[in-house]
Structure 1
């Protein structure tokens, strides 16, 4: 069975409570539940991880490398726009990486328009709320199977 890790970044534990205009009212737990349902349909395993600590995220990316995960999904939140440390950790991976954003980062504040991960990820999905996660999972599975 293909194994994928879903990395949730800073402040994502507050989904459902923070800025419902941008992020809706869905909670992180509900997002993870939706991912698990789709993973079962697609015949893959998804492990979800969330942290508010950049070093912990870096360590989990390293762990994904050593565990030979088949793909990585990441919504790094604000780290997307400035964390060269996470970018360098992601660059170690040799599997498809899909960058996710619930909101359309290109329709928001100027600083959110740039991703330091953009040149090393397979692709980005943004602006579709919780469906961004589900689309990203489908894209990762397609990339693993080379059916894109």
Structure 2
């Protein structure tokens, strides 16, 4: 059975998930993610997923890693670009051309961030398969589940086969 590689990529200030502003972003650590995914997908499916974690504060570092993911044949990306979600045309352009299914995720509900209207806008979303926001660390687990479903839907034989 095929194993799927999913890159979990985090942008600036997301190296401190669970410790940084827990009142906004929650208190669960990224180290809990594999267990969350196992609960949602079950151990058999999780055994077919390889998670590759990456975090960078620099925009160029994120773009370099996404381009590397393309060269490596990574199957999917779960991306929390942090503040670059709202400001980076370069990151949006990269996602548009690398051709890897990507789920944009956010710990907080960016649409409910009325205190900062800019945070309700995503420049990268147009290049993503979908967006999941507001569920804390579960946003990542749900992103992995969405990619898994996409992989399974793509693998199903068509009526002609």
TM-score (norm 1): 0.90
Segments of structure 2 that go 5 or more residues without pairing to the other structure are: 155-161
Most deviating of 10-19 and 62-71: 10-19
Is residue 37–residue 141 contact of structure 2 (8 Å, CA) maintained in 1?
no
Deviation at 1:106, TM superposition (A): 0.3
CA distance in 2, matches of 1:36, 1:56: 27
2:101 to 96, 105, 117: 96
Q: Is 1:26–2:48 an aligned residue pair?
A: no
Equivalent residue, structure 2, for 1:67 = 72
Aligned CA-pair RMSD: 1.8
2:131 to 108, 120, 124: 124
Segments of structure 1 that go 5 or more residues without pairing to the other structure are: none
Deviation at 1:4, TM superposition (A): 1.1
Equivalent residue, structure 2, for 1:139 = 146
Is residue 35–residue 133 contact of structure 1 (8 Å, CA) maintained in 2?
no
From the superposition, tell whether residues 128 and 138 of structure 1 become closer, same or farther in structure 2 (CA, over 3 Å).
same
Deviation at 1:24, TM superposition (A): 1.3
| Runs ≥4 residues deviating over 3 A | 28-31, 33-40
Equivalent residue, structure 1, for 2:13 = 11
Equivalent residue, structure 2, for 1:47 = 52
From the superposition, tell whether residues 9 and 112 of structure 1 become closer, same or farther in structure 2 (CA, over 3 Å).
same
The structure number with the bigger radius of gyration is 2
Deviation at 1:118, TM superposition (A): 1.4
Q: Deviations over 1:66-93 (max 9, x none)?
A: 0111111100111000111111111122
Deviation at 1:130, TM superposition (A): 1.0
From the superposition, tell whether residues 36 and 104 of structure 1 become closer, same or farther in structure 2 (CA, over 3 Å).
closer
Is residue 65–residue 92 contact of structure 1 (8 Å, CA) maintained in 2?
no
Deviation at 1:25, TM superposition (A): 1.4
CA distance in 2, matches of 1:94, 1:145: 18
Give 3-state SS (helix, strand or coil) of 1:46's partner.
strand
